[in-house]
Amino acid sequence: MKKRAAFVLAAGLAFGTLVPSSYAAVQPSKAQQLVHEKMNILQEQWNKKTDSPEFLAGTLSTKPFKSEKEIREFLKANKDIYKINADEELTLIDTQTDNLGMTHYKYTQSVNGVPVEGSEFIVHTDKDGIVKATNGKLRPDASTKMKDKTTAKITSKEAIELAWKHIGVAKKDTEPKTDTAPLVKGKSDVPDTVEKSKLVVYEKNGAYYLTHKVELQFIYPYPANWKIYVDASNGQIVDAYNAVADGATSGYGYGVLGDYKALNTYYSNGTYYLYDVTKPMSGVIETRTAQNGSSLPGVYSVDSNNAWTASSQAADVDAHYYAGVVYDYYKNTHGRNSFDNNGATIRSTVHYSYQYNNAFWNGTQMVYGDGDGRTFAPLSGALDVVAHEITHAVTERTAGLEYRDQPGALNESMSDVFGYFVEPNDYLIGEDVYTPGVSGDALRSLSNPPAYGQPAHMNNYVYTTDDNGGVHTNSGIPNKAAYLTISAIGKAQAEKIYYRALTLYLTSTSNFSNARAALLQSAADLYGYGSATYNAVANAWNQVGVY
Ligand code: L5W
Ligand code: ZN
Ligand code: CA
Ligand code: CA
């Protein structure tokens, strides 16, 4: 290989000034040149950033090195190549002699005794002690960058607490509960929750951090072997991943309208589940099927090959997929973690009852009928309907608007309005599943409530005892006010104002006038009292006759 080095240099000279600048990249570094001068190399891999060898094979020594002590001499003699202070930085962790007579000396690198994560280094000698190979990822710059930084300010106990917080699971909630997750059959079947922590130097994108490497292992609410690197100087999370990879899977399927959807699923014991553990929540998003009509919660929706393509699975696919979309909406737009803002499991059951033309939140979970095929297709097939249902759960846990009269109509309206915010491509509600045989219609419209039999002004308020005081009728009035607001100020401001009013100002007995005040106050908080935005909200409610 000396020859190849010579060729590279000669080629550079031969091209003279005509050598393209990119050619410089293949010029050997000083350490590479040294390797070719001192060793007979058959295979080599280099870490370009640190200019250190990740793999060298051939004949690396001319004399034998037959003990760990002697191997250190080899490393010292080649310090210009490996760039490591063997005595200070390397700790022997294993020696093996194999049936070919080769001996393999395995080391880890450390800084002031703190191991550098992922920096194992192995020296391989033949039966005569000739060094035939070295490999592993040494970090020559770790010592210079970290030698004054190996004292932790955060304790291991604090790091473990921060790690639990990061994954959004409380240790006490990892105690298995019977019949709640596909993998969990009973408490005795599963190992206890394990917490571990050790101090390591961790490299990420070329920067070094002193971290507590925290390992959190549990089986409920999902199988996990988390590795979480907590910065030992400030408690920030440097990196984290779940090493249990055989649980969470990615499947696909077709929705009610026949569209392709990628699905977050779960594999266990030869079966795939609509069970999404990918969200940063303590619970999961899970989807079930009602087996005997109206019994809840039903059984897990399952599939044998993670291709959810049967027409009988379409309602399951959409309920699962859209619940994830709505979770993401609340998390990404409002920082809300699930309906309870505490990461609760979002459960849906589909195929409820028989030809059932409705969907509802029952206080614990979502429930969707299949529709009769004329009035409705399976109701989970509409994202705005799924958002409507999950918003009922959000409302229950925040404003708590009681489901009758004006507070009830506001409750309905909030569900429709967030149905729009989640799926803002039209002002219609339920158009994707309503009357599959008729195109262009919907269940309701925010922009034109009277087109669907709803009032859009207080003059037309319907006084009735039906439907808890006409909650699905009079919602047309606040719906129209929302439409006028969104049209005037845009969705981005409107959704902030509505979320703030719902979660901070509205109460269980708020009426339309109280809603106007709550929204105005939210607009004032966010955009200023008397601002154009504030005035637009006032205007919208004036136009529907609410003062
Ligand atoms: C869609 C059909 C009726 C919306 N709930 C509703 O209060 C509906 C449930 C599913 O208005
Ligand atoms: Zn509703
Ligand atoms: Ca819609
Ligand atoms: Ca229709």
Average pLDDT, the chain: 91
Whether residue 458 lies inside any domain: the answer is yes
Q: What is the pLDDT of residues 140-196, one digit of tens each?
A: 999 999 999 999 999 999 999 999 999 988 998 887 554 444 544 333 343 478 899
Residue 224 lies in a domain: yes
For the chain, give the percent of residues with pLDDT over 90: 82
Q: Are residues 129 and 216 in the same domain?
A: no
Give the bridge partners for 369, in sequence order: 352
CA-360 nearest atom, ligand 1 = 9
How many other β-carbons are positioned within 10 Å of the β-carbon of residue 188? 6
Rounded to an integer, what distance in angstroms lies between the CA atom of residue 48 and that of residue 279? 36
* 380-393 pLDDT, tens digit each: 999 999 999 999 99
Residue 391 within a domain: no
Is the domain of 169 the same as that of 128? no
Which pLDDT score, from 0 to 100, does residue 8 have? 29
- CA 397 / ligand 3 centre spacing (Å): 24
Considering the domain architecture, whether residues 14 and 48 belong to the same structural domain is answered as yes
- Cβ atoms within 10 Å of 183's Cβ, excluding its own: 19
Q: Do 128 and 229 share a structural domain? A: no
Pocket test for ligand 1, best of 356, 389, 414, 454 (most atoms within 8 A of CB): 389
Domain check: are 135 and 207 in the same one? no
Ligand 1 atom with least separation from CA of 388: 4
Q: Is residue 247 part of a domain?
A: no
**Residue 48 confidence (pLDDT):** 86
Ligand nearest to the CA of 421: 3
Longest dimension (CA), the chain: 101
pLDDT for residue 28: 86
Residues within 5 A (CB) of ion ligand 2 = 415
Q: Are 476 and 512 in the same domain? A: yes
Catalytic residue among 389, 412, 423, 495: 389
Q: Clarify whether residues 408 and 462 are in a common domain.
A: yes
Please choose from 357, 379, 392, 431 the residue to mutate so as to test ligand 1's pocket, defined by most ligand atoms within 8 A of CB: 379
Arithmetic mean of pLDDT, 427-450: 98
Ligand 1, CB within 6 Å, residue ranges: 358-359, 379, 385, 388, 412, 430, 443, 472
Is 336 part of a structural domain of the chain?
A: no
Assign residue 214 the CATH number of its domain.
Answer: 3.10.450
Mutate to test the pocket of ligand 1, among 388, 401, 429, 444 (most ligand atoms within 8 A of CB): 388
CA-nearest residue for atom 10, ligand 1, is: 359
Same domain as 188, residue 160: yes
- Tell me, what CATH number does 447's domain have? 1.10.390.10
Torsion, Cα 157 162 165 166, to 10 degrees, reads -140
**Alpha carbons 350 and 322: distance in angstroms, whole number:** 13
| Residue 183 domain-assigned (yes or no) | yes
Would you state the structure tokens that stand for residue 164, as one six-digit string?
């639990």
Looking at the structure of the chain, the number of domains it has is 3
| Contact criterion met (CB below 8 Å) for 397 and 363 | no
Average of per-residue pLDDT across 522-532 = 98
User: What would the mean pLDDT of 501-516 be, rounded to a whole number?
Assistant: 98
The domain boundary, picked from 226, 242, 258, lies at 242
Q: What is the pLDDT of residue 177?
A: 54
Does residue 36 lie within any of the structural domains?
yes
Under 8 Å between Cβ of 536 and 485: yes
Digit-coded pLDDT (tens) for 341-354: 999 999 999 999 99
From 142, 177, 212, the end of a domain falls on 142
Q: Please indicate, yes or no, whether residues 109 and 177 belong to a single structural domain of this protein.
A: no
Domain carrying residue 136: 6-142
* Last residue in a domain, options 185, 214, 242: 242
Whether 448 and 480 share a structural domain: yes
Question: Residues in the chain, how many?
Answer: 547
Residue 29 banded pLDDT, cuts 50, 70, 90: confident
Per the annotation, the verdict on 389 as an active-site residue is: yes
- 462 and 417 in a common domain: yes
412 counts as catalytic: no
Compute the distance between CA of residue 300 and CA of residue 114 in angstroms, rounded to an integer.
47
126 and 39 in one domain? yes
Q: What is the atom index within ligand 1 of the atom nearest the CA of 415?
A: 7
pLDDT for position 287: 98
Averaged pLDDT for residues 250-267: 97
Residue 351 in domain: no
